[in-house]
Structure formats: C-alpha cells, structure tokens
A = this chain, B = another copy of it.
Amino acid sequence: MPPILSIVGRSNTGKTSLVEALIPELNRRGYSVATLKHSKKGFDIDREGKDSWRHQKAGARLTALSSPGSLVLFENVAEEYSIAKIANNYLTAVDLVITEGYKQNEYPKIEMYRASHNTPLLYDNSEELLAVVGDRPDNCTAPFFELARIAALADIIEEKLLMKTTKGLLDN
C-alpha cells in the first residue's frame, strides 16, 4: 500500500486548492500521486440516461468506461470502503495517496486553516498533524506554511512519507 496523506480542514478553507498545488510539485520531484475524495452524500458524476448509468441501474456490480486517454470505473458497494481498502484495491500503482474529505482517519495530516473562520484547529496537538497551511493559528505546535510555500511543504511530505519509498527503490 502506498503511503497516505490526509488533507483536512473545515469547509471552504481551500483543501482542494492545496491538493492542486501539491500534486504538480510532487510530480516534478518524480512521485506519482493518486487522490481519494470522500463524500457522505455521494457524487453527481454519472447522469441519468447515459449508458454507464443504465448498466449500473440494471444491476451491474462494476461498470468500466475505457477510451484512449482514460479509464473510469463505477462500483456499487454494499458498505463504504475504508481508505486502506481503496488504496490496496485500486491505488497501488502510485507513490503517494492524498485523501480529502475524510474527517476521521489515522493517517498523517495537513490541516488547511483560515483565521477568518474564527474556529479552532481540528487537529491541534495531534501527533498525526505534519503541518498547518493557510493562515497561522495562535499557539499552534505544528509547523506552519503559507500556501505559496509549497516546496517547503513538499519537503516535509517527502521527508516524513516518501523517503522510505525512495530509499527502497535505491536499494534495489
């Protein structure tokens, strides 16, 4: 299973923007990245009337769509999959999995924080909190980075989560 990094934070703090900034920086360093997004209420992806929707509606457990540039897979699940199960089943080809939208999880985290929200950090004093990004919170014990300092943030991710992978590759 690839290492997992969880991007956390309250609504509208810019979690997706952080993911968008991190991926190209990690790609540039030679790491392939998968993202995993969670939603309680589901995703408005497949549309009524489309063939894939009709296949799923008819009772297909899995529906794959294949074209020259992309593959899309729909799976009906009886019970929601855990992060580990999804990573193990579907995301083993990458160097790092970045999750977004999972409130409770045991993986290393980066929290997006906006002072204007006037709310406390979600993961202050948590050992899993690698860094806080956005606005500097009062009395924060974790390292803090402005969103623009993406390279410094990537350094921490590399050091804490990816060095073992790299070392493993170099040893082989």
Contact = CB atoms under 8 A, between A and B. Distances in A.
Interface residues of A, number: 57
Contacts of A77: 68-71
A55 B90 contact: no
A159 to B, nearest CB: 21
A43 B52 contact: yes
A37 B65 CA distance: 5
A53 to B, nearest CB: 10
Contact of A60 (B33, B51, B52, B72): B33
A72 B21 CA distance: 23
Interface of A: 16, 19-21, 23-24, 27, 32-43, 45-46, 50-52, 54-55, 57-77, 79-81, 86, 90-91, 93-94, 98, 100
21 contacts: A16-B51, A19-B58, A23-B59, A27-B59, A34-B63, A35-B52, A35-B60, A36-B63, A37-B51, A37-B52, A37-B66, A40-B67, A45-B46, A45-B65, A45-B72, A61-B94, A62-B94, A68-B79, A69-B77, A70-B75, A71-B81
